Amino acid sequence: MYPIDFLWRAAERFPNRTAIVSPEGNLSFADLARRVLERATALTAIDPGPGTRVCVGAANTVDHLVAILSILAAGKVWIPLNPRNGDPELHRIVEFSEPSLVLADVDMAARLGGVSAPVRTLDELAHGGLGGASAAHAVAIGPNASGGVSVNAPQAIKFTGGTTGVPKGVMQPLRAWNANIVTQIHELGLTPEDRYLVAAPITHGTSTYMLPLLAVGGALVFPEQAKPAALLDAAAHHRVTLFFVPPTLVLALVDEQRSAPRDLSALRYLVYGGAPMRPEQIRGAQAVFGQVLCTSFGQTEAPQIITFLRPEAMVGELLASIGKPTLLTRVAIVDKDGNPLPAGEAGEIAVRGDLVMTGYFKAEAETRKTLVNGWLRTGDAGVFDERGYLFLRDRIRDVIITGGFNVYPSDVEVVLSAHPAIADCSVVGVPDDKWGEAVHAAIQVRPGMHVDVEALIAEVKRELGSVKTPKQVHLFDVLPRSAVGKVLKPAIREAILTDRSRS
């Protein structure tokens, strides 16, 4: 069974149920399947080669979703292009991946001028402007298509990083998508009554929820805008039961709901991921939305749901946990040589199972470093407690070694973020002649508020001791973030070093 088969099966089981809710109009499952098949046929007509790569860059729209599903139905490989990335990075991804075709909305097409691959708009795909199609094509790619493609064949290549140098493309195989679909259905208990709000970009984590929802007969709800007010309005109006957002958006939604409460009684899961949330931030969100906040841990290399922490478990010390391993995935904590460590000992998180990538595109050496004896070495440090709950520490490379002691930045960030005037913070190691690395903190102060830096440093020292106390605190108007909202520690470190060299 291939990932697209989950859509075909849903169309057979629920032809008249609503699959898509959007400002442009709703689509039933029969309508959606027909539209996907028509556009997959058009793709195959102009590019009949099996397994060719197709880039797609667009804002969140129904046409964008249908284009992705059409690529899957045509037996091709999807490569997402995030509109939030800069033009040079987008061009690098296109040239490096060598796609047979680039599909884009009007705005993205204008940004991709000069790439070597042909660029066509989503409108052209929607209205048959890619060329004629024959019934034979439809039979070849439709619900009755014969098998023969290995489940290890790539379904998508998703690029992570890539802001400088050569981008790193994660090859997600068909089996990883299947494993994610089954795991999402199992862990979230999805039913035909579920409605998923398309809030975050479908080029990233949001896309991993779409086929699981459609597979069970649920609906995808497209809001009119991606602003917090519009998202909450759509969630209330359409009785949304589930959506996924990064922590930065959770905090914005909390502020919006406090200022103008909506009826969100249908909501079962507000899933955050992509970055950690502080315990006090989680408690604040729970106070506003109820016991619906939950989290999953995943990477592009093992998409979305390596572990899951259910809403009812998110209490007490488990506010800092990322949950337990999910149905089809094995998780271990290992030392630098790959030996398993017992509960209570910190090490690198390693993952095994169908959810794991096959490797990095055109990067065999990097693949060998990351996939070791069948295990994905995630680069994240973590520890299991005696109950089997996993706690994320930091990226291995972010651990600060100062004076021979290991300092996990997250330990310091928890204390800093408890200060009422600090909106956000990040702790990094900076080269130091005396300590090897020195602990430095970057903080973003809430508008109209003030932080006494000396008092803050003294408070951290009282809580954590001198080794973990920042040698210096740096004030930022806004912490630098990636296109998907993650704080960029390398950019913070570079800014600190640049400021120090000027001084």
Which amino acid, 100? S
**Token pair in block for residue 478:** 């806004």
- Position 486 scores a pLDDT of 81
């597979």: which residue's tokens?
215
Q: What is each CA distance from 170 to 95, 300, 364, 476, 497, in whole angstroms? A: 16, 7, 12, 33, 31
Which amino acid, 315? V
The pLDDT of residue 243 is above 80: yes
């046409």: which residue's tokens?
63
**Token pair in block for residue 271:** 């899933």
Question: Which residues are within 8 A (CB) of 147 and not within 5 positions of it... i.e. 6 or more apart?
Answer: 2
Q: What is each CA distance from 14 to 10, 29, 63, 214, 358, in whole angstroms? A: 6, 6, 21, 10, 34
CA 244 vs. chain centroid, Å, equals 9
The percentage of residues in the chain with a pLDDT greater than 70, rounded to a whole number, is 94
Write down the pTM of the prediction.
0.84
For the domain 399-502, what is the CATH code?
3.30.300.30
In the chain, where the domains are located: 29-167, 223-396, 399-502
- Position 135 scores a pLDDT of 44
The pLDDT of residue 136 is above 70: no
Q: What's the CATH fold of domain 29-167?
A: Rossmann fold (3.40.50)
Domain 223-396 sits in CATH 3.40.50.12780: yes
- Position 482 scores a pLDDT of 81
- Position 280 scores a pLDDT of 86
pLDDT tens per residue across span 295-318: 999 999 999 899 999 999 999 999
Cβ–Cβ under 8 Å, residues 7 and 216: no
Facing residues of 347 across strands? 382
Kindly tell me the burial class for residue 499, based on how many C-beta atoms sit within 10 Å of its own C-beta (0-12, 13-18, 19 or more).
Answer: exposed
Rounded Cα–Cα distance for residues 101 and 53 (Å): 7
Rounded Cα–Cα distance for residues 293 and 321 (Å): 13
- Position 161 scores a pLDDT of 55
Q: What is each CA distance from 478 to 383, 446, 447, 481, in whole angstroms? A: 31, 10, 11, 9
Rounded Cα–Cα distance for residues 13 and 346 (Å): 47
Averaged over 217-234, what is the pLDDT? 96
The 10 Å CB-count burial string (b at 16+, else e) for 447-479 is eeeebeeeebbebbeeebeeebbbbebbebeeb
Averaged over 238-258, what is the pLDDT? 93
- Position 66 scores a pLDDT of 97
Q: What is each CA distance from 84 to 60, 115, 157, 182, 319, in whole angstroms? A: 12, 18, 18, 30, 30
- Position 131 scores a pLDDT of 59
Question: Which residues are within 8 A (CB) of 232 and not within 5 positions of it... i.e. 6 or more apart?
Answer: 253, 256, 257, 260, 262, 264
Rounded Cα–Cα distance for residues 198 and 186 (Å): 20
Averaged over 248-260, what is the pLDDT? 93
pLDDT tens per residue across span 17-70: 999 999 999 999 999 999 999 999 999 988 888 899 999 999 999 999 999 999
- Position 142 scores a pLDDT of 58
Q: Model confidence at 406, in pLDDT bands (50, 70, 90)?
A: confident
Averaged over 4-25, what is the pLDDT? 97
- Position 277 scores a pLDDT of 82
Instruction: Please check whether the two domains, 223-396 and 399-502, share a CATH topology.
Output: no
The percentage of residues in the chain with a pLDDT greater than 90, rounded to a whole number, is 73
Averaged over 366-388, what is the pLDDT? 95
According to DSSP, residue 326 is labeled -
Mean pLDDT score of the chain, rounded to an integer?
91
pLDDT tens per residue across span 436-485: 889 999 999 999 999 999 999 999 998 888 889 999 999 999 999 887 77
